[in-house]
């Protein structure tokens, strides 16, 4: 964690396997198929107060945070409790897209929180694909129970149209306001709601298939 300067990850992967792994980095750039793997809680946590700005499209400000730029790259979160900050402790600076980007919350069954100071997609040119976003809580998620993606700013309607969650349409991407003034991304319907809908449809099909037929006299 004594590394200072810009870290560029291209066509390979770098893992943050301990607290404050890259805390002194000035910037992290993930491009050309590179992957930034978060295996440790608060791998980028850096102290410093931040100012909330709830104006849509305008990020807040923070001291000592590491901004992450992604273009044709992936942020992979895996491992129990892995997060970049939580609540009022934002663990990363602004997430900036320079091309299509992916945030993968991992298929290992664990849940975690990613908390960014802001979100920039210049002229809304690029897409952000969110995969394996697992939530059991409707609305505001809970740390350690749900996957959570939180921004210290309210995204614009145009920005939301460039974000897809778990393969759903971008029209199903929304956000909920948190008590501390931040905003959490959610899918509408959320995964739990989708499961209920699918189960209900299956039950209707079964009921129709086994409906008793009236006998002809």
Q: Omega of the bond prior to 189 within 30 degrees of 0, cis? A: yes
pTM above 0.85, yes or no: no
| Greatest Cα-to-Cα distance within the chain, rounded to the nearest angstrom | 88
pLDDT tens digits, the chain, 217 residues: what are they?
Answer: 566 678 899 989 998 888 777 766 778 899 999 999 988 877 775 544 344 444 555 444 445 577 899 999 999 998 877 777 654 454 688 899 999 999 999 998 899 889 888 899 988 889 999 999 999 998 899 988 999 999 988 999 999 999 999 999 999 999 999 988 889 999 987 554 444 444 444 444 444 555 555 555 4
Nearest to 30 by CA among 84, 60, 71, 88: 71
Distance of CA 172 to the CA centre of its chain: 15
Q: Does an H or E element contain 200, and which?
A: helix 191-209
């Amino acid at each position: 964690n004594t590394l200072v300067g810009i870290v560029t990850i291209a066509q390979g992967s770098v893992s943050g396997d301990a607290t404050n792994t890259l805390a002194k980095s000035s910037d992290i750039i993930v491009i050309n198929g590179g992957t930034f793997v978060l295996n440790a809680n608060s791998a980028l946590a850096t102290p410093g107060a931040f100012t909330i700005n709830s104006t849509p499209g305008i990020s807040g400000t923070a001291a000592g945070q590491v901004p992450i730029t992604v273009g044709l790259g992936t942020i992979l979160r895996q491992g129990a409790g892995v997060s970049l900050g939580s609540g009022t402790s934002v663990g990363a600076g602004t997430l900036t897209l320079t091309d299509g980007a992916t945030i993968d919350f991992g298929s290992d069954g664990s849940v975690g929180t990613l908390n960014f100071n802001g979100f920039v997609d210049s002229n809304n040119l690029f897409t952000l694909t969110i995969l394996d976003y697992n939530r059991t809580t409707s609305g505001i998620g809970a740390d350690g129970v749900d996957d959570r993606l939180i921004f210290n700013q309210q995204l614009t309607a145009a920005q939301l149209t460039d974000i897809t969650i778990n393969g759903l349409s971008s029209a199903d991407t929304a956000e909920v306001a948190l008590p501390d003034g931040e905003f959490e991304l959610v899918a509408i319907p959320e995964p739990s709601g989708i499961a209920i809908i699918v189960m209900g449809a299956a039950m209707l099909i079964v009921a129709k298939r086994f409906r008793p037929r009236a006998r002809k006299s």
